Structure 1
Amino acid sequence: MDDLNNTADLAPKDRSALLAFYSDNQEVDMPEKHRFPMRKYRLTRETLQADPSVQNLIEVREAPQADRDELARAHCPAYVERFLRGELTEKEMRTVGFPWSEGLVRRSRASAGGTLAATRALFEWNLRITANIAGGTHHAFRDRGEGFCVFNDIAVSSKAAMEEFGIERILVVDLDVHQGNGTSAIFSTDARVTTFDVHGDRNYPWKTRTESTYDVALPDETGDTEFLDLLNQRIPDLFEKHAPQLVFFQAGVDALKGDSFGRLSLSREGLQERNKVILSTCLQRSVATVVCMGGGYSRPIEPTVEAHSDVYRMAAQALQGRL
């Protein structure tokens, strides 16, 4: 596994480019017609690599796999071990939403490892924005997984930032259409982490919803104007009040109109403006930022892939002063 703490020659070739980690090489055998669009990760990476507008502006790297000790910073060691060994019950795996396999173990470790590597890279090499073309697995609790989330990459990486780099003020901006219940629960008693969560009021999770530092539940069919007005009002206040040293941007695109699991009605252009609000605020205030992928479930898959690609495309362009 790449040691991003101690290997100086792994520094990015161009520190003004977006360093982004991927884990789509860790393949998971999925049941036929499974509702989770696993191929969106590979398609998003390939879209970015083929895009001339960000040629040489994104450095893509394979994500390392988070190890047991790293995962146990945010999760119960017993839960970590039981999952890695394939000892979770059928009921527990149904709650996760995937059948257990060795491939799922590798994939889950790499998904968490990508966000962890992106976080370490920020502080090791004094970068401004880094990314994981995966992650955002915000439904994983300390002692269990759910909602297609095994390990909570944002929680694992937040713990690393606090323990390894002395970070004391973290802001999680979670704009996935589903509430990040696992992240909020893990940090419910940790004042160092502020969770700002905008989600659909009538959407999953229904029975396991938790309390974020700030929750904003939106009605069905909320569109661009209402969503962007909300961000423009709340985001500056959050940064002013909490003065974060590190931001995790959970950039799910399942608020897109027509998303299979969404219920909101944002356009692609609205999501682009959303990205601009968050990324520009982080850059203007010189706050280290990690971008994570989150959800997106459009059928056909192309609108989801384009909206995900926009997030990373815009992060790369923001670093060049092009937003």
Structure 2
Amino acid sequence: MSKYRLTRLALEQDASVRDLMEIREASQATEEDLALAHDSFYVRRFFEGHLSPKEMRSIGFPWSPGLVSRARASAGGTLAATRALLEWQLPFTANIAGGTHHAFADRGEGFCVFNDIAVSARMAMAEEGIERVLVIDLDVHQGNGTSAIFAGDERVTTFDVHGDKNYPWKTRSTSTYDVALPDATGDEEYLALLREWLPRLFAQHQPQLVFFQAGVDAMEKDSFGRLSLTRKGLMERNKMVLSKCLEEGVPTVITMGGGYSRPIDNTVEAHADVYRAAAQMYPAQ
């Protein structure tokens, strides 16, 4: 849990990007916001602490008022980033949290209560007239909740690169494109895959809005990752994705996703690299 605060502090203290980004506190998502992608009964029961012990075990946290605030804030950050992106016509905005891609419409799972990407994409389609959304999910764990929520919705393309033998095992769903990687996949194979896929995704689907779930748990020695990307490889991954979005002129929201290295410092730096890349890339154009 400490990585969220530590990543924000790392960015605030980094002189190389301090003047290139503005960090703001976002409002918490409302019940009405969350109902854009979630069953209202589920949202209300979670707010009031009425989920069953089994449902809370699936989420992975004990219920508390603090957990309610945290889940609402995580979704609220991505909502605020999406609204700012479209209102101010920026190339990139980001949430230093979010990417909670295991949350389904009617239940939470895998430390994810609400699906911030799904809520924000639905908001953009309902309020801003967006008709084509691309979700690029590069967390090492498959975004089963996101792909399930958008199953059958032709407006949303879900592209998911994940570890084949990793979580989730029993509740995996089907994305528009799933790319499952063997254990120990390294930089060369991973980056070659992205070079092949990214041009195809933009050419075939012509997105108007991208959500980049930028989890860093594919990094070598991550406690739950099983892949073998280096920090340098992840930095190249970030550059490839963000450069393509910039090249195509598609506004992009970045969310944090997973990262579980020990010591946590390695994960914090890898997360901060994502935001640094976005901040440094746009002024250079």
Instruction: Tell me if both proteins adopt one fold, taking TM over 0.5 as the criterion.
Output: yes
Match of 1:125 in 2: 88
Match of 1:71 in 2: 34
> Any idea what SS the aligned residue of 1:194 has?
strand
Amino acid of the structure 1 residue aligned with 2:112 = C
Q: How does 1:280-319 map to 2 (within 5 A)?
A: 280-319=243-282
The 1-side partners of 2:280 and 2:179 are apart by 29
Match of 1:245 in 2: 208
Q: How does 1:60-99 map to 2 (within 5 A)?
A: 60-99=23-62
Structure number with the higher helix fraction is 2
Q: Does 1:54 align with 2:20?
A: no
Shift of 1:132: 0.2
> Any idea what SS the aligned residue of 2:269 has?
helix
> Any idea what SS the aligned residue of 1:283 has?
helix
Q: Does 1:186 align with 2:146?
A: no
Shift of 1:51: 0.5
Matched residues, percent identical?
Answer: 71
Amino acid of the structure 1 residue aligned with 2:4 = Y
Match of 1:137 in 2: 100
Aligned match of 1:158 in 117, 121, 126?
Answer: 121
Q: Does 1:112 align with 2:75?
A: yes
> Any idea what SS the aligned residue of 1:140 has?
coil
Task: List, as ranges, runs of 4+ consecutive aligned residues in structure 1 with deviation greater than 6 Å.
Answer: none
Unaligned runs of 5+ in 2: none
Normalization by structure 1: what TM-score? 0.88
Aligned match of 1:201 in 164, 175, 180?
Answer: 164
Amino acid of the structure 2 residue aligned with 1:168 = E
Match of 1:31 in 2: none
Match of 2:109 in 1: 146
Amino acid of the structure 1 residue aligned with 2:173 = T
> Any idea what SS the aligned residue of 2:159 has?
strand
Aligned match of 2:66 in 96, 103, 108?
Answer: 103
The 1-side partners of 2:262 and 2:89 are apart by 39
Amino acid of the structure 2 residue aligned with 1:43 = L
The 2-side partners of 1:285 and 1:321 are apart by 16
Match of 2:240 in 1: 277
Alignment length, in residue pairs?
285
Shift of 1:200: 0.0
The 2-side partners of 1:93 and 1:319 are apart by 41
Shift of 1:315: 0.6
The 1-side partners of 2:99 and 2:283 are apart by 25
The 2-side partners of 1:55 and 1:133 are apart by 15
Match of 1:234 in 2: 197
The 2-side partners of 1:236 and 1:258 are apart by 30
Match of 1:222 in 2: 185
Amino acid of the structure 2 residue aligned with 1:137 = T
Q: Does 1:265 align with 2:228?
A: yes
Deviations 1:101-143 (A, max 9, x none): 1111001001000000100111111111100000000000000
The 2-side partners of 1:52 and 1:125 are apart by 25
Shift of 1:238: 0.4
The 2-side partners of 1:55 and 1:151 are apart by 30
Unaligned runs of 5+ in 1: 1-37
Normalization by structure 2: what TM-score? 0.99
